[in-house]
Structure 1
Amino acid sequence: MKGINAALMCDFYKIVHRDMINRKMTKSMSYYTPRMSRVKRWDKVVMFGLQMFCKTWLIDYFNDNFFAVPEEEIVADYKRVLDNSFGKGIYNTSSIVELHRLGYLPLEIIALPEGTLVPVHVPMFGITNTHPDFAWLPQALESLISAEMWYPQITATVGKTYRDIVNKYYDLTCDDNISRAKALGSFDFRGDQGLDAALKAAAGWCMSFENTATVPAIPYLEKMFGADCEKESVAYGAVSTEHFVMCSNYAVDGDEETFLRKMLRELYPNTSFSAVLDSYDYWNVIDNILPKLHDDIMAHNGCMLMRGDSGDCVEVVTKTVFKLWEQFGGTVNSKGYKVLDPHVKAIYGDSITVQRCEMIYEILMKNGFACSNVALGVGSFSMHCIEEDDDITVTTADGQQIKGRATILKPFTRDTFSSCIKACYAEIDGKEYPIFKNPKEGGFKKSQKGLCYVYRDENGELAYKDGYVGSNIPDGNLLETVFKDGRIVREFTLSDIRNRLNNNAF
């Protein structure tokens, strides 16, 4: 399928900005920065998704849907769309023609390494032109960059948040050799906003974990980060039933025991699997059917995970662990916590918000159980929003103000971190100009001024200084070239990013 003309991948007003800037401008620099956080638990953002953007859009898409298309087709399509939707005579095509004839995107992107945890206010990357005729180009790409960048950074930050929770409770309750990277899995595909969002969500998640239900995430990660699932750990799925399977077998067998025994003996005698058990009566299966399957479960060369899918997920999964201990027993690990017999485990496949994850682990720990006794799934809800307790003030009909606390649902958007691209530097007629915005009532909307120098302070935290121009910016800037003139010049591998994000302890 032929893609949309790449020259049209912008907001309408970007079309004419190239005619509005000073014609003697030969260079501009814009920075992408998370300006603030609307989520209290987050004051840092994972730098992630830029390499995906460069490969997908700046290389593949522009090559296929701009440079490889004949000039006359690009111009004719450009004029057809804009004449009939924007207006004739208010724009020109010369800049598009010049870019097409150049044959590549004359851009340089300087960035922090992917997988870096970046404090708000610190610029993550900058974009500048490498050819003096295209100072308009960095800001012309603002809409596309912004639309493509904010979501993978959110999902990578979500994954990192869950990984921090896992690390905390596994360090307390689990033997050190138990994998943290397989503690949770993502189950968000069906609830994401299309395939593209699902791939971004899975990619961000897989920087902190190996388990995902999103199959196309594997080839996507391979393409974007040079991974190879035949040679390294990319991501993993698991055998699991669904209600269609359980209900259709029940319709024939008249019970649930028959099919579960078939799973253990015939279908997957040497493979771990999870079985959803709440199609009718979850606790009846746990209390009455599992004892009948006891010998088959113990003879099974794998682990059977008992999955609830309704009710209070915190109660269901923790209570399941307690009941499995009563039926199957287990051992006590080196840290003094109970570990279920390896033939059984509890799983809950979605609804696990960060708060519920913490609650589940806390209950298990307080009752003397290792947190590795459960496998937890994170669904699309957690990829699109977060719940936080916050102070609120409600004004009643008679004007009284009542203060209290409430759980607030905070959806994820570009404005979660107010991530934006702002032009901060220009060279015009041979002179260097720091440029900036500083709205009188804008607050966090104030931009950097001039070129930015990113460094680590005395505490090892990322910080920046602005106000520089091309002739005086110091050496050693942590923003380093990753893309230049249509090519990736510094590529990060999957293991690079995972290790950086997880302090070499992925």
Structure 2
Amino acid sequence: MTNPILATDSYKQSHFRQYPPEAEMISAYVEARPGGASDQVLFLGLQPYLIDYLGRPVTRADVDEAEALCAAHGVPFNRAGWSTIVADHGGHLPLEIRALPEGMVVPAGVPLVQVENTDPRMPWLTTFVETALLRAVWYPSTVATMSWQCRQVILAGLERTSDDPQGQLPFKLHDFGARGVSSAESAGLGGMAHLVNFQGTDTMEALLAARRYYDADIAGFSIPAAEHSTITSWGRAREAEAYRTMLDAFDGQGRLVAVVSDSYDLDAAVRDIWGGSLRAQVLGRQGTLVVRPDSGDPIETPLRTIAALWEAFGGSVNAKGFRVLDPHVRVIQGDGMTLETIGRLIDRLVETGFAIDNIAFGMGAGLLQKVNRDTLRFAMKANAMRDADGVWHDVFKSPATDPAKASKAGRQAVVLRDGAMVAARRDTVAADEDLMRPVWRNGQMLVRHTFAQVRARAAARP
């Protein structure tokens, strides 16, 4: 599935015959329309598309393959147009793409990307790339936005209860989503999107994606951790020995180790093993034991675990008056965590006087898979057509049956008004006012963002 001519919807193959005869250029834009799951969108994902998809020139073999497939499939094929791209443009699509800087947190309804064809013989090309471009942008932007929303909730809890909110924040939400997504590419792009906001992950494809597409050396970190198979293989009678093995194997200065503790009886494990037979060893280690509940009520179970660890190990009361466990023990809750349950668990911890320092949160498929294009209402729409006389005409839709799906008319710009980003017609603003800048033209990348830049922009928004 690497032929760029086939990375589209079937009906796009017939569109070269459908535009007005005077059309020479088409402009289209990408936005997350208002009314989705967030009124702010963290923009991410265009650069991987430019590198992997537009960066690969179309070949004559691609044209031949696409022609044969379209003929068998029952749709027209623009052999002349694609052959011209190969012959006259070296296989690079004659497109210019303007975009906001990636990592920006943008109000819904503000354009993120604008595309125009640069060869007047190919007005059909702009919207031909909609399928691949929209898919490339909506998924990482949506995951990044959901992760960013969790960051705001967790940060608020930390600011209320912790003496070091910013120091605690980077590792407070951990990505466990690799096994729950539809593909390795999804794991890489979605996991990378989460790492814009946090540094904890078990999705190793995300590290590769951040390195390949945004020049990150290492974007995320993890720790040794047990799973049920490594604990239950010892048998119930040797549960304490399984735990002791984890403590022995991963001791060291500042070293953390996470141990799933609900294989049989979580409360008994915390009370009788961690807080009983292994208590002295836990306190004698140079690292931190992270106890992981993995079943039961996702709010009350971790709260009960923290309270039991407090009874067994004690701790201190910080400057804000909240209890912080002895530094040898912490908790991570990954089961059942969503934006809503994270907020509820934080509220319960605050109610019972525990600092958010005591816990980290994990998310799996809820972070990387339970999203779709409609989560943030992403769309790409044509907004202008230039005729043979060089005159731009507005293009838009305004469906009476759903006014919320109305699209913007005229080539778009994004400007600051009273400190907020808003959409404006490009022909009404000065060029240096427009926050959307050319990032790609005719096979050449004009701007390349680093992961550090993306993270800094995302963190700049409260």
Q: In which range does the TM-score fall when normalised by the shorter chain?
A: over 0.9
Match of 1:162 among 139, 150, 163: 150
Does structure 1 conserve the Cα–Cα contact (< 8 Å) formed by 2:105 and 2:461?
no
Distance 1:294 1:182, change over 3 A: same
SS of structure 2 residue aligned to 1:29: strand
Aligned: 1:417 with 2:376: yes
In structure 1, what is the equivalent of residue 123 of structure 2? Answer: 135
Distance 2:369 2:230 in 1: 29
* Aligned positions of 1:326-405 closer than 5 A: 326-385=311-370
Match of 2:259 among 275, 296, 304: 275
In structure 2, what is the equivalent of residue 302 of structure 1? Answer: 287
Distance 2:43 2:410 in 1: 22
Describe the superposition over 1:296-323 as per-residue Cα deviations: whole angstroms up to 9, x where unpaired. Answer: 0111110011111111121111111111
SS of structure 2 residue aligned to 1:415: coil
In structure 2, what is the equivalent of residue 477 of structure 1? Answer: 434
Describe the superposition over 1:188-231 as per-residue Cα deviations: whole angstroms up to 9, x where unpaired. Answer: 111112212212221111111000110121121011101112xx
The amino acid that maps onto 2:379 is C
SS of structure 1 residue aligned to 2:167: coil
Match of 1:29 among 27, 30, 35: 27
Shift of 1:267: 4.6
In structure 1, what is the equivalent of residue 232 of structure 2? Answer: 247
Distance 1:11 1:455 in 2: 33
Describe the superposition over 1:46-104 as per-residue Cα deviations: whole angstroms up to 9, x where unpaired. Answer: 11111122112111xx33xx24xxx2x233212211111115xx443100100111112
Higher helix share: 2
Does structure 2 conserve the Cα–Cα contact (< 8 Å) formed by 1:453 and 1:474?
no
Shift of 1:169: 0.7
Aligned: 1:77 with 2:65: yes
In structure 2, what is the equivalent of residue 92 of structure 1? Answer: 78
The amino acid that maps onto 1:477 is D
Identity %: 28
SS of structure 1 residue aligned to 2:97: strand
Does structure 1 conserve the Cα–Cα contact (< 8 Å) formed by 2:110 and 2:422?
yes
Distance 2:361 2:112 in 1: 32
Distance 1:343 1:110, change over 3 A: same
TM-score (norm 1): 0.86
Distance 1:340 1:17, change over 3 A: same
SS of structure 1 residue aligned to 2:415: strand
Does structure 2 conserve the Cα–Cα contact (< 8 Å) formed by 1:263 and 1:269?
no
Shift of 1:342: 0.8
In structure 2, what is the equivalent of residue 448 of structure 1? Answer: 408
Match of 2:54 among 53, 58, 61: 58
In structure 2, what is the equivalent of residue 117 of structure 1? Answer: 105
Match of 1:152 among 140, 154, 169: 140
Distance 1:74 1:122, change over 3 A: same
The amino acid that maps onto 2:263 is S
SS of structure 1 residue aligned to 2:134: helix
Does structure 2 conserve the Cα–Cα contact (< 8 Å) formed by 1:213 and 1:237?
yes
In structure 1, what is the equivalent of residue 299 of structure 2? Answer: 314
Distance 1:95 1:445 in 2: 31
Shift of 1:473: 5.1
Distance 1:46 1:127 in 2: 20
What is the alpha-carbon root mean square deviation over aligned residues? 1.8
The amino acid that maps onto 2:15 is H
Count of paired positions:
455
Shift of 1:370: 0.8
Distance 2:98 2:250 in 1: 52
SS of structure 2 residue aligned to 1:316: helix
Does structure 2 conserve the Cα–Cα contact (< 8 Å) formed by 1:108 and 1:481?
yes
The amino acid that maps onto 2:148 is K
Distance 2:412 2:250 in 1: 60
In structure 2, what is the equivalent of residue 495 of structure 1? Answer: 452
Distance 1:368 1:306 in 2: 20
Distance 1:329 1:224 in 2: 45
After the TM superposition, which segments of 4 or more aligned residues of structure 1 sit over 6 Å from their partners?
A: none
Shift of 1:284: 1.1
Distance 2:317 2:24 in 1: 69
In structure 2, what is the equivalent of residue 405 of structure 1? Answer: none
Aligned: 1:265 with 2:248: yes
Distance 2:114 2:77 in 1: 27
Shift of 1:266: 4.1
SS of structure 2 residue aligned to 1:21: coil
Aligned: 1:486 with 2:443: yes
The amino acid that maps onto 2:403 is G
Distance 2:248 2:132 in 1: 53
Aligned: 1:184 with 2:173: yes
Match of 1:196 among 182, 185, 194: 185
* Aligned positions of 1:420-439 closer than 5 A: 420-430=379-389, 431-439=391-399
Distance 2:77 2:94 in 1: 22
Gaps of at least 5 residues in structure 1 are: 386-411
TM-score (norm 2): 0.94
